[in-house]
Copies of this chain bind each other. A is one copy, B any other.
Amino acid sequence: MRRATIKDVAEKAKVSLKTVSRVINNEPSVMQATRARVLRAIAELDYEPDPSARNLRSGTTFVIGLVYDNPNPYHIIGVQNGVLAACRETGFGLQIHPCDSSSPLLADELADWVQRSRLAGLVLTAPMSERRDLIQALTARGIKLVRIIAATEDPADGACVFVDDREAAYEITEHLIQLGHQRIGFLWGGTSHRSSGERYAGYEAALKDYGMTVDKHLVVQGDYTFDDGFRGARRLLALREPPTAIFGSNDEIAAGVLAAAKSAGMNVPYDLSIAGFEDSPFSRQSWPPLTTAKQATEDIARHAARLLIAQLRSDAYDDAPAPLHNQGFVPQLVVRGSTAPMRPAAARPLPSDPS
């Protein structure tokens, strides 16, 4: 029996040669039903396409990779869901790769992964997306990537989605100031994340604009975790003059602050106002629910993946539409039950060391 050809497949599936070729090439944008018909014809005819023709022009597959190093499951799932939404729109697959962002061998590790899995490109989240040496090393090896970064404006140095954490942190701090709080604690989320520095800058700018000075005893270093929020809050609440409000630089930190306040018998928000950042599902499920900044994590990640895929298609096909543009997002203040006007001093419990 002679071997089946692509023409046999096209005739059996009642589609054009071009369509069979698109299916063989795993190209997106073939209707699901058409794809199924072509695949059935291929199976029935035992047709074997030339394997070297089954990939993108560059020899990679229709799979992108997502790189993350974040301790927060809600954040990771949000990012994954956004990237997966863009993949579904275009028929791409998604490989995931958690990593140690501080590893000096990270460029080799990622390049090895891309090569072995023949990935078409990468979505890099923070803090990897903010390591200039890493970006340069990956780009030098010809790896296509898009970055999600914290920045007030487009740095115009490659494909990225930028999130203005500074502006949003300013608004949260302003909200606390307008509630009458004079002593507002700030808990950092790890210095390797540019977002944490940006959020601190927003906090500092708001205090300055309202004529308040930064008391460095009210600022505590830590990571983007519940445990560091708990520890940081315990330290702040043990001060001789504790804060009446604490801004945790993400929702996990704020949840840790909430647990610390409750374990100390405090009534939130009346004894202590607490604000977080991100609007993770977590922030709506705590009691009281958390005032936060809505970060639209899924939308941000979806746009990043669309940007990458548009770039890949534009590189691979002459007739592809022009790539999308970089886009900025500003998280929006969401006020919930964890923040309240400061109580007048007389109504607060007496300090343990009255003077």
Contacts and interface: CB of A to CB of B under 8 A. Distances in A.
Contacts of A91: 116
Interface string A211-223: 0000000000000
Interface of A: 26, 32, 35-36, 39, 51-52, 59, 61-63, 73-74, 76-77, 80-81, 84, 91, 93-96, 98, 108, 112-113, 115-118, 226, 255-256, 258-259, 262-263, 281, 285-287
Contact of A32 (B61, B95, B112): B112
Given A52-B51, A73-B73, A116 B62 contact: yes
18 contacts: A26-B116, A32-B112, A35-B112, A36-B108, A51-B59, A61-B118, A73-B73, A73-B77, A84-B96, A91-B116, A93-B113, A93-B116, A94-B95, A96-B96, A226-B281, A258-B287, A259-B285, A263-B287
A36 B81 contact: no
Nearest to A74: B73
A353 to B, nearest CB: 26
**Shortest 5 CB-CB distances between A and B: which pairs?**
A73-B77, A93-B117, A262-B287, A73-B73, A51-B52
Number of copies: 2
Contacts of A226: 281, 285
A34 to B, nearest CB: 12
B94 A96 contact: yes
Nearest to A111: B39
A114 to B, nearest CB: 10
Given A51-B51, A94-B96, A255 B285 contact: yes
Contacts of A116: 26, 62, 91, 93
Given A76-B77, A81-B98, A262-B287, 19 more contacts: A26-B116, A32-B108, A32-B112, A36-B108, A39-B112, A51-B51, A51-B52, A51-B59, A62-B117, A63-B117, A73-B74, A77-B77, A80-B96, A84-B98, A93-B95, A93-B116, A95-B95, A95-B96, A226-B285
